[in-house]
Structures are given as C-alpha cells and as structure tokens.
Structure 1
C-alpha cells in the first residue's frame, strides 16, 4: 500500500515536472524582464477581482491542451489535441508556448481537467473568465454550460449542474475570433500587422478561476460617490435574495468603521463624515464590506472599496468650460497607453509587470492615462485607484471604414458609418458590458465611445446613452473623430506638435482637450520588434535630441493651458511592435528620456492656470 502510494505520488510529480519542462516561450521576439519568471505552476495567481473579494478561490491558469481545427469541421469536442499552451496567454503570443495563428476560418479548442468535487448544501460552483476574445462556448464533462460574445468583458458560468461524482471534471472551451474580418470590437488587432496595427489576440487572455458560493450570493457591487452631499450610494446585485434576508453594509477608514447600514434594501446611501477626497496627489480609498444575513446567520460576504471623488466641467472666469476634479480645475496629462506586451501581447507576463507600467507613468510625472481601444484586467484599474492615476477609458474599436476629418478649430464632417444591425447590436452589448464591469473603479473619469471615426456611428445617440448610463463621469464622444456638439468634451488629435480646438467656437459648450499628440520616435538597437523599418511620427538619432524636442512640445502645452486647454495625451507609454514612439521600449528595458527631468517638466504643467 505504501509502495503504491509512493509510486503514484512519484508518477504525478514526474508528469508535473515534465509539463513544466515541456513549456517554453516561443523564441524569435524580444521579451520583457518578467518573461523568465513566468512559472507554469503559478501564472498570474493574484486575486483577479479586487472590487468583489471573497476569501476562497481557485486559480485555473496554467498548461491546458489546445487544438486549432477548421471551422468547417465537425464541431464536437476534439478527442485529441495538438499540444499544450499556457493560459491565459493568447495562442499567438510567445508566452503561450504555441505561437500559432487562428483566424476566421478556424476554431481554437481548449481542454483541461479540474480537480473539483460537487459542493454540498446547495452551494454553487462558478467558473469565471476575465476575458476571452471573441466568441466562447463552455463545456463541462461534455455538457454545454454557457456561451459568451465579447473580447473585453468578464463573464461567469454556473457549472454546478454539469459536475459529476468524483473529483475529476473535464472543461473544454471553444473559441472563434474573426479578428478584423468581423464587425466585432477588436482594437488594433489585424490579421496582417503593419504600421499602427498589431498581432491578433485569440482566445483566453485573462485569468480563469473557480469560486464556490452559497445559493444566495452577491454578484456585483457598484459605488457612486456624491462629494457635494458627502454620501456614497452602494448598489448590490444579489442572486436569489430571500424574503427576510438583510444586508449589512459598512464603510471603513482603515480600521475605523465610519458608516453602516442594516436592512432589506439593495440600494443604500451612506453618509461619509468629513470625506477624504481621492485625487492623483492623495488617492485615498475607503474600504467597503457587504454581507447577507439570514436570521442573523452570515450567508455571504464580500469586500471592496470606494473613493470620494467628483469629476465635472465648469466655466472659468472667461466662460471656457474646464475639466474639474473635486470642484477644482485639474489639468489632466498622461500617455496614450495601449497595453501591449512583446511576450504576452494583450497579457502582462506577471502582476508585477502589469503594475510596473503604472509606477513608471507616475514616476514620469503624469496624472492620467488614456487607455487606448483596449480594456485591461481589473487589477490594472485597482492599481490606478491605489496610485492615483486618472483614466480615460476607450471603447475598443471595430467595423472600421468610414471617412475621418480632423481639422483644428472646426467641426469634422459628419460621416458616421452605416453599420449593419448585427454590428450595431454587438457594439451596444459590449460597450454596456464593459461599462458595467469597470463602473466600480473610481480612477475612471472619462468614457470614450469612439476614436478617430474608427467605426464611428450614431454618435449623438451613443454619446447620450453613455451619459445616461453613467451620469457620474464625463463622456468624450469621439476622441479626435468626426465631431458633434454632444458630450462634455471636444477632443482634437494633432501630430507631432500640440494644438487645441478653438476656445471661441467650442469653449462655452465643451471642455477643450488634445486627445493625441507627440509620437516622437527613437528606435533602440536590441529592443525593437523588428530590426529595421520601425516607425514614429518624427524620428530622432539619440535620447538627448529626443528629449530636447519633447521640451518644445511641453512649452507649447503651457501656452495652450493658459488659453483654456483642459487635458492632453502624449503618444505613448511604450513602443508597440513596429511603433517606436514610446517613452519606454517595447520590452520595458530602456526609458528613452531622463526620468527626473521628465518628471519636472511634466509636473510643472499642473501649476499653470488661466
């Protein structure tokens, strides 16, 4: 008996070691410093949902079987697989260990075995996906348990009914992603990368995890602060709430309880005495705890946080609308952040890597980031909340093809795209899901439904719907796109030098912002995606030459701020594939400008007033 046990343990240890040794990063591309620390046994194993935390969870990231099959083939779960890849890195990435393309004519299948027993006492087993691009169908023990369309929003499947006796449960995931051959949001992914367009991302690209919850459980929390009234409204979404159940909601300043509610309401307003405001200089977060009680017995409990901050626009002494933070003018300045990685594509190699970009952004003296046509994992926004970084959140673009006119000081021609009913439905569904998922993060202060007329359609309708869905934030209806007098912001793009919309034309109606400028390029040998033909809006020979040119841009920004500019976005945080206009190289190993001097010139912009 002991010998048999020893053999079994040895055998499984051997398989585990073999699997780990079998995986390796696909060679041929540059890599970040974190690539070598990726461990197939411990992949992105930090808690993935900071705004709805429970104590117990199981990380399913790791080596899964995969197969790429023709879309025309029989659609049954495959009996055999072609190899293993490392979840949650997209199959095209080097960190997946596969480095394969898929495309619209193929299906990507995943398979893994879960060590999981069916919970008792009517508990539910929830399978969570951070993001899967684009269309996913989930099977447990051969039974279809759910499906989802949308490459950027998290989704959950209750798999309780499909679990079988014993601890071995089989999970399969079918994924189809047409990339730029389909009408769905896909950001900058294209099947033939070139210029400002990048490698496709297919399949699972955020954490997959399991959670066991009671039959009655909290599914979502959203907090809405009202700084002027010193209140925060907490909305709790609850599955199968029973008559007589009570909610216990409490707000905490560190270890001090400052507000509490007990009752049957699921939409609760708490008074916050002498509120501490959240800002880039002082990013104070209050802790939040929500419990469900049944006859004084604890049924479910989650933890989160909120911030007391207000984003608005108001006229200055010249009648020009300005972007206000906590009722004061705050010039917002930051990089265009695309969130791409040479080794993980959409997915940072580690949690430390994910946070690194934000720490560097803060160290460079920026107080804002425009998250460009991509959505990040929840932990990215959590770190922005902690560090005090304002976020403009773009909707990932898709279904491109309409005309773009961007002229300083005048309205661009209204050339909204005539999308199909299918395309329109996909956009509405995914934008709503993205906004719902990101609503709890106080760092987000601006929603951006469109970028540069990339698939821009029904602009007035979309902007008004966005404003109605979330009145607590500002809406930038079309960043650098075809402009309409709708939303809170008018946003001009101009490369490389700064420019702004005319204050005398637009200033009384909307805040004036420069949504993109800069793009100064410097390829660094040994740190580029390809060895030649790299690209920037304007190229330089060395770092000092680059920085001196950057100073001319910030000098111009000072003039524009005095003329009424509320915000500016420099392109960009890092190089991306053949673009070499980042502050950092794509592998994050070189900062191209002197950090301290960069911090000084950037932070000087916040001291300028009209």
Structure 2
C-alpha cells in the first residue's frame, strides 16, 4: 500500500552525528565516546560476514526508517551486518573498556577486531560488553554487529511491530535503535545502584553492586549543598535532617543529586522523594501520590516517529512530546508496548510527568477470538492459564517474557516518574497475570500494577482496568476492591491533509472530517466519560492517543508532530476540571 514519507522538524535538521547527549542520566561517569553516526551495513541471507557492504546507515536509526538513509525492511530469514571503526587514545583508557548498547532489536552478536565479545537477545533493553581483551590502543578497532530480527514470526517480544503492517500494527524496525557508546573504568568500579526513597521515614536507601569489597562514600545533595553523607558497603541509608524534604509531584518535580565515590571510581545520579500507592478514601479506592489521592490524567504514548520509527530524531524531540502533554494539562503518559531510552524517563523526571510503563508484548500469532471478538462481545474474562489461547503455548516463550520483564523493571527501577507497571495489554501474549503481578510486587513494592490492561481480568493487581471504545463508560463496583481506572478510551480520528502516512486507509474508532466537530466531540467525551465519573470513583484516564501512528490518525497531534488537532485552550480547560475534590473524600 502507498505511504507518504513524513519528516519531523527535528528530522529535517538532522546532522551526521545524531543523539550525542550522554545516554545514562542516572548513572553518569566522566568517560564517554559516542559512536553514533554513519556505519557500513549489509543485509544478507546467511551468517557469513560480507566481503562488500551494501552501503551506509546512520546509527542509531533502524534500516526501515527514513532517517537511517536505507529504507529497507529486514526479513525474518535475513541477517543485518553493521561495521564501523573506532580509535581509543591511551589517555581515555583506564583498566576496563566497556561497549554499551542502548537497545538492539532483536538478537545480536558483537565482534571487536573479529573477536566475539557479546551475544544478546531481546530488543528493548540496554546491554554492555567488556571489550578490554579485544581492543587495541591508539590503533583503529573494527566493530561488527550481526543482527537477526524475527519480528512477529516467532515468540520474541516485538510490541506492535508487524511483518504485515496496517491498522493498529506498524512497520517493523530492526537492529540498532539506541545510542552506541564506550566508557572506560578502573578494575575496581561501581557496576550499578538501586535507589529506593522511603517517603514516610524521610530517608533514601541506596544499594550498590561493585567489583570490589571496600566502602563507598554516598553524598546526598540539593544543588551545591550537601544534605547527608555516609560511608558504607552494599546497602546504606541516607536520612534528611529532621525528616524534612521536598516532595516530587508533576506540579513540583524536585530532584535530589546523589554522588557515589570509591577509591578509584565516581558516579553521579539523582532521585526524588515520592510515594505511590492505593488507599480507600471516602467511598472509593483511589490512586495515591505522597499519601494524598491524585488523579492520573494521561495519554497513550506509543513512542513512534514518522521519520525514525522507534528512535526519536533528537533529544529535543523527546522533550517536545512530554512538554506538549504537560502544556495540554495532562500529568501522565502511558508508555505503550515500548521501552524508551533512559533520557526519555529523565525528561519525565525533571519536567514532571507520571509514567505507566507497559511491557512490550510477544508470543506467537494472536488468537483474534480471544484478543478482539470475545472482549467486544462482552466476554472478557478468559482464564490466562489456557496458554494456547493466548499465544503462549511454549514454555520458552513464557520464560523469555518473564526474564525480559524482570530486566525491564530492574533497568527502570530508579526512575522517579514511573508509577505503574503494566505487564499485559488486551490479552496479547498474556499468561499467569496474577502470578506476574505478585512477582512484580516482590521485585518492586514501591509501585502499583495493572496486571491485565483492558480485558481478560484475572482479579489481580491494584486496579480494575477498563478499555472503553464505541460506547459510554459505565463504572461498576469492583468485587476485588481495586482502584477503578479507564486505561484506554477515545481513539477519535481526524486526518490532516499533507500530514497523513497512508492516504488510502485510515484507522480510528470514531472518524471526523471537521476539526470543529472533532473538538466538540472530545469535550463531550471528557465531560461524560471522565469529569462526571471522578466523583463515582474513577481514578485515572488514558486518552488514545498523543500522536498519530501510521494508519492511525487518532492522535492529538499529527504523526510528523507538525499540526496540533485539539484546541489547546479547550484541552487545558477540560483537564483543569479533572480533580478529586475534597467534597468526595
């Protein structure tokens, strides 16, 4: 089907060295070489390193994207090879040389100077290779990455990518799609840290994983002022004087700095003092922020870009989406079926935006009877222990999902903005949701869980999660005494000429051709499905969606982010009316 090449303003300004910002804001070390830029690439039919490459690709954009300079889809039976060279100066190298990848979709092998240094599976999370023994100093080093991406033809997590894109399923993307970079550390270095604010006690717990058995100095700072300091190994606690601190909220997103210093290493980080939970308040169970009821007023955010697919064209583009949502009066983004680069969460942290974090879906081909037909006919509580019905018949598939899900939680645990984990959506590859929700709470007891977003509710998690399209929202008392949340609604589509990806077919749940009628309909929807239902116990709402994505033209802004469809003042006014009033507590 014919499609239009749409570029964002940031894509139009792209240079040969994209995304140069430090990629790990919560674990900063003064050692950094960014390898983004033009690399060689080749797409082949076998595992043999090609003698001649097909051309050049702009890393970290996947070959399917416009910004990569390639514009070719990697097939499930093909191999994608990357090649570049880098030189390490003697002044850069300490003892250990680490090669970091933000994300590579989906299975890859990494070679430095023809020595295999890493194998990784899973397309959404960062990984690191120790290349010390393979690298040369003050000489060119060859770096080769070989990628296989089965997309939706096997059980691996692929989100909404499809080898047969259309409707609510999108162009697949493959290979390197986040920043590639080098750092060098001493033999004795700090590998990771885990930060847990203990809001009610006015302190923060910091756990470290180090390659050495010596004390580390932990310093808590507010700007240039040192608030607390402690030396220790493993796990330490830092308390605020007199238990007084500044709370983080979307309205006041205050961040504290954290400095870790060992005998040979130094890392800087940040955190926030905030607390998420659920409590009965008045007649209803509510989501809580810092021990107060707080309405999560959100947008579905799929993180697709018309020119970069999974990869934003610039750091400024990441900021622009979050800033737009805030300007319209929203306080939450549901990151839908995708994991973002660390800098996206950093911007949510510093700008003040709650995040509900989905796990990318996987499994074999969906059973549409289970994921669509039954739910829309009112039968949405199929037991997810029937693995075959949910495309999870293979144990290896379920194990892979569980492993990646736990790794995702570990990777994003420190982000202040994340309020909710969402392991499953609309039954896509769902299994054992109650067990997964309980396991989530064991790993991270500081956040809430939507165990089965939309339908096939198994009675677990913290919220009664509803997806409502095509009809008015009606609230019913949840027999499991959970918080009631409208986790998807809307989907109103409005095509804007000159900004449409697919000019022959559009996708949405209610279609409009007139922008005035579109805005009137949104106002009516918000009044009846959100504003009027807050006194009845509604505690969160997620409008679909922030931006258009390919055939879907139901975003508040176009796919290229150039035209805002919703009236800004109207949306601000509507969102200003969404509150949990004292009269309802």
Deviation at 1:56, TM superposition (A): 2.2
Q: Which of 432, 436, 450 pairs up with 1:458?
A: 432
Deviation at 1:594, TM superposition (A): 1.5
Counterpart in the other structure of 2:332: 368
Q: Against the structure 1 CA distance between its residues 167 and 28, is the aligned structure 2 distance closer, same or farther, given a 3 Å change threshold?
A: farther
Distance in structure 2 (CA, Å) of the matches to 1:531 and 1:406: 30
Query: After superposition, where does 1:40-51 map in structure 2 within 5 Å?
Result: 40=16, 42-51=17-26
How much is the aligned-residue C-alpha RMSD, in angstroms? 1.7
**Which segments of 5 or more consecutive residues in structure 2 lack a partner in the other structure?**
none
SS of equivalent to 2:484: strand
Counterpart in the other structure of 1:132: 104
Distance in structure 2 (CA, Å) of the matches to 1:407 and 1:580: 22
SS of equivalent to 1:52: coil
Q: CA offsets, 1:33-75, max 9 Å, x none?
A: 11121111x21001100000012200000000001011xx3x2
Q: CA offsets, 1:450-492, max 9 Å, x none?
A: 0000010111211111111100100110110210121111101
Counterpart in the other structure of 2:7: 31
Q: Against the structure 1 CA distance between its residues 367 and 409, is the aligned structure 2 distance closer, same or farther, given a 3 Å change threshold?
A: farther
Bigger relative contact order, structure 1 or 2, given CA contacts below 8 A and separation 6+?
A: 2
Q: TM-score, normalised by structure 2?
A: 0.94
Counterpart in the other structure of 1:251: 220
Q: Which of 534, 538, 542 pairs up with 1:569?
A: 542
Distance in structure 2 (CA, Å) of the matches to 1:407 and 1:28: 32
Counterpart in the other structure of 2:231: 262
Q: TM-score, normalised by structure 1?
A: 0.90
Distance in structure 2 (CA, Å) of the matches to 1:178 and 1:83: 23
Deviation at 1:501, TM superposition (A): 4.7
Counterpart in the other structure of 2:248: 278
Contact 1:180–1:186 under 8 Å retained in 2: yes
Deviation at 1:407, TM superposition (A): 7.1
SS of equivalent to 1:462: helix
Q: CA offsets, 1:307-347, max 9 Å, x none?
A: 000000001222x2210000111111111000000100000
Deviation at 1:259, TM superposition (A): 1.0
1:329 aligns with 2:293: yes
1:292 aligns with 2:262: yes
Q: CA offsets, 1:530-585, max 9 Å, x none?
A: 22321211011222111110111111112211110110100000000010000000
Greater mean alpha carbon deviation, residues 570-579 or residues 272-281: 272-281
Distance in structure 2 (CA, Å) of the matches to 1:487 and 1:120: 48
Deviation at 1:406, TM superposition (A): 3.7
Counterpart in the other structure of 1:199: 171
Q: CA offsets, 1:51-103, max 9 Å, x none?
A: 00012200000000001011xx3x23222211010000011001000011112
Distance in structure 1 (CA, Å) of the matches to 2:107 and 2:497: 39
Deviation at 1:123, TM superposition (A): 0.9
Contact 1:119–1:125 under 8 Å retained in 2: no
1:309 aligns with 2:274: yes
Contact 1:89–1:344 under 8 Å retained in 2: yes
Q: Which of 382, 388, 397 pairs up with 2:346?
A: 382
Counterpart in the other structure of 1:57: 32
Distance in structure 2 (CA, Å) of the matches to 1:509 and 1:366: 27
Query: After superposition, where does 1:505-520 map in structure 2 within 5 Å?
Result: 505-506=478-479, 509-520=481-492
Distance in structure 1 (CA, Å) of the matches to 2:29 and 2:194: 16
Q: How many residues align?
A: 568
Deviation at 1:596, TM superposition (A): 2.0
SS of equivalent to 2:265: strand
Q: Against the structure 1 CA distance between its residues 32 and 485, is the aligned structure 2 distance closer, same or farther, given a 3 Å change threshold?
A: same
SS of equivalent to 2:535: helix
Distance in structure 2 (CA, Å) of the matches to 1:316 and 1:278: 21
Q: Which of 543, 550, 553 pairs up with 2:525?
A: 553
**Which segments of 5 or more consecutive residues in structure 1 lack a partner in the other structure?**
1-26, 294-298
Distance in structure 2 (CA, Å) of the matches to 1:424 and 1:542: 46
Distance in structure 2 (CA, Å) of the matches to 1:45 and 1:496: 44
